[in-house]
Amino acid sequence: MLQVNGLNELNKIFDHIEIVVDKDPGAALAILAPLGKELLFYSLEQRIRYYKIQAHIYTKSSQFQLGKVSSAKGLELSKQLSSPSILIADLSYEHGFALENLGDIDGAFENYLNGLEVAESLNDKRFIAYGFSNLGAIYYLTKRYERSLIMLNDALTIANKLDDEELKGSITSDLGNLYAYIYQEDKAMGFYRRSYNHYKAAGKPLEALDSLTQIGAHYLFNSRYEEAISIYKEIINSTEKQVSSSGLYLVYSGMAWAYQKKEDSDPQAARQYMLIAGQHVADAEHHEIQIEYAIDKAFLLDSMMLYEEALESLVIAEELINNKKQTYTTVPELNLYSLRANIYFSQEKFQNAYQEQSEYLAGYIQMRENKNTLAIEDIRLKYESEHADLEKQILEHKHSLKTVELRDASLQAKNQQLYLMVSVIVTLIFAWFLAKLVRGQRQLLKATRTDGLTGVANRRRLTQLGKRYFSRAVEKKRDFSILVMDIDNFKKINDLLGHGIGDSTLQNLAGISHGIMRKTDQFGRFDGGEFIVLLPDTNEGQALDIAQRLRVTIHQNQWDLAGIDHVTVSIGVAALDIAKHGEFEALIKSADLMLYNAKKNGKNRVCV
């Protein structure tokens, strides 16, 4: 057993392990493991640090279940601390990262937010930046791209001021992911290259390899297959043992596609690399990878005309998607329907192809209702292309089918087939025009509900929802609170710096505030520099906590606007009291009165 002479020596060992983990997580774990046998003899803070390092090693190795357990133990111990410690923020981020990769996005968001609150209370700029970056990642994963961009840019501003290469590497990697999600490939590639250079400068080889993997994926996406193969071989040949299972899956599946798609295609090599990718999927705990692999493998098999094997792989993908029990349509699910329709068409199973394409259309419409407009436009274009291709294939195939049917089938069978093909075309065209009509109606509805400058709910929408929440709360005897928030000295900002800066201030504040709201809350702009937050099922104490978090976040935000270093807000809080508030407007008046008190007592404060 490793002998530790004194607590100072233990801290030195911890420092050493944190250096080793960046190059070899396995070696770091081998050094750390014996220390666990003497855990009871360490100070409270050292026990917490032990679990933090252990969690970091596990998440670094893509062992997210173990990382989740270790970080949870550290967080439980941290409750015994007499004062806040940055270890709590670090552990919250590790716990959130493990949950994010295990598919618990809501749990990850909550942990990232908790960690950020601790970092802000300690004014630790580095961990504040990591908190912004983590939240930015959650936002692009959940298709809230504008909020993601605000968070990540705020994080990068802090990182640049600190001149922290590792931090800059992490944030630029997330910015690359964000732009990849919205199909701005050139910007994504630029950020991936910056991320790679930052990580190299910081001496973080594993993170640099992740960025290199992203660069390889960019080459692959843009049909630069030989360059992609070169990048992937560099990763495999130089440091394969250091790359996580999920990283190796991405490398080998990328190799498979590059070999299949390049000019001198090598299908056998492609299939072999895809099988190797499958071996690494078994070890990877990331919740999306098994689904992605099954669909990716099916696409490859389809391109090799191995249709039955491709369909078997899609059955596995569908089971994995159903096990997630999501209530919304996902991009992998749309890919599944689209590919299966193409396979059935290639097999001349036209009824099956029609049914799968109908599922695709239904899922597409549902996704329009749930996803960000930027993502939807790309899916719409993809659907239009696939729809046109299907119609073209049907028309081109029509003549050959007629010939076969005249020879081998009765006139009735031929008429049925022709009727089916016409039905496919007519139904899809009708459905597409219906989707366009729905889109126009939804855009019109959005315009009547949204503030044109900030993109949040407008006064009309806030009033509608407020009356609805008020009536429900009264009827069902439930809590309901509201916040009225006003930017301090907003008129002075407009008068001295111009309305352009004033508008930017409103936009940034709306993005920051909207970004930290709970799913059940409704945030919007009421008038000028005044905003309102509707808080259903929220009592006065909970509303006060939310208001304070809003105020502190806005006050501590680094405002990258000419002439503005800090912006503060005053907030009035009011909770429903049936004896006092006979209607929603009376509740607003109570909150307005509290806002007035906050302004009168010095601003940058909350009154209730």
Q: In what order do the strands lie in the sheet with 522-527?
A: 522-527, 530-536, 480-487, 569-575, 606-607
Closest C-alpha to 22, from 242, 307, 290, 350 = 242
Measured in whole angstroms, the distance separating CA 315 from the mean position of its chain's CA atoms is 26
pLDDT score of 364 more than 70: no
Supply the pLDDT for residue 493. 82
**pLDDT level of residue 368 (50, 70, 90 thresholds):** low
- Model confidence pLDDT, tens digit, residues 478-492: 999 999 999 988 888
Tell me the two tokens of residue 399. Answer: 């003549």
C-alpha–C-alpha distance, residues 267 and 253, integer Å: 13
For residue 419, pLDDT beyond 80: no
Q: Residues 440, 495: contact at Cβ < 8 Å?
A: no
Which residue spans within 564-604 are E strands per DSSP? 569-575
447 has a pLDDT exceeding 50: no
Dihedral, CA atoms, 11, 13, 16, 21, nearest 10 degrees?
A: -110
Q: Taking each helix axis from N to C terminus, what angle separates 225-239 and 205-221, rounded to the nearest 10 degrees? A: 160
Q: Which of 237, 160, 247, 182 is closest to 212 using CA atoms?
A: 247
Is residue 113's pLDDT more than 50?
yes
Instruction: Tell me the pLDDT band of 385, cut-offs 50, 70 and 90.
Output: very low
Is the pLDDT assigned to residue 546 strictly greater than 60?
yes
Residue 573 pLDDT greater than 80, yes or no: yes
Q: Are 184 and 220 in contact (CB under 8 A)?
A: no
The band of 305, judged by pLDDT with boundaries at 50, 70 and 90, is confident
CA-based R_g, the chain, Å = 28
Statement: residue 389 has pLDDT above 60: no
Residues 6+ apart with CB under 8 A from 337: 356, 357, 359, 360, 363
Q: What is the mean pLDDT of residues 132-140?
A: 92
**DSSP notation for 397-432:** HHHHHHHHHHHHS-HHHHHHHHHHHHHHHHHHHHHH
* pLDDT of res. 576: 94
Buried b (16+ CB within 10 A) or exposed e, 152-182: bbbbbbbbeeeebbbbbbbbbbbbbbbbbbb
pLDDT of residue 327: 54
- In the prediction, which pLDDT does 39 show? 85
Q: What confidence score (pLDDT) does residue 378 get?
A: 43
Cα 207–Cα 209–Cα 210 angle in degrees, nearest 5: 65
Q: In the predicted model, is pLDDT for residue 28 greater than 70?
A: yes
Residue 427 has pLDDT above 70, yes or no: no
Using pLDDT thresholds of 50, 70 and 90, give the confidence band for residue 263.
Answer: confident
Q: Could you count the other beta carbons within 10 Å of the beta carbon of residue 38? A: 14
pLDDT tens sequence across 214-253: 898 888 877 888 998 998 888 887 654 456 666 777 888 8
User: DSSP class of residue 326?
Assistant: -
Q: Considering the chain, what percentage of its residues have pLDDT values greater than 90?
A: 30
Residues near 2 by beta carbon (within 8 Å), at least 6 away in sequence: 13, 31, 34, 35
Tokens 């908790």 -> residue = 114
| Residue where the block lists tokens 């990850």 | 108
Q: For 189-206, how does the pLDDT look when each residue is reduced to its tens digit (9 = 90+)?
A: 899 999 999 998 998 887
Burial class (CB in 10 A: 0-12, 13-18, 19+), 99: buried
Per-residue pLDDT at 459 exceeds 50: yes
Report the DSSP pairing between strands 522-527 and 480-487. unpaired
Percent pLDDT > 70 in the chain is 79
Which one-letter DSSP state was computed for residue 450? B
List pLDDT tens digits, range 575-603. Answer: 999 888 989 989 998 998 899 889 888 89
Biggest CA pair distance of the chain: 93
Query: Comparing 462 with 498, which gets the higher pLDDT?
Result: 462
DSSP 564: B
Lowest mean pLDDT among 61-65, 137-141, 223-227: 61-65
Query: Mean pLDDT lowest for which of 73-77, 145-149, 166-170, 373-377?
Result: 373-377
Q: Is the dihedral of CA 252, 254, 260, 265 positive or negative?
A: negative
DSSP 568: -
Residues 6 or more apart from 153 whose CB is under 8 A from it? 560
Assess contact for 7 and 190: CB atoms under 8 A: no
Q: What is the mean pLDDT of residues 68-96?
A: 93
DSSP assignment, residue 22? T
Of 494 and 112, the one with more pLDDT: 112
**CA 434, CA 181: separation in Å to the nearest integer?**
27
Amino acid at 296: D
- Residue 319 reports pLDDT greater than 90: no
The pTM of the full predicted model, rounded to 2 decimals, is: 0.50
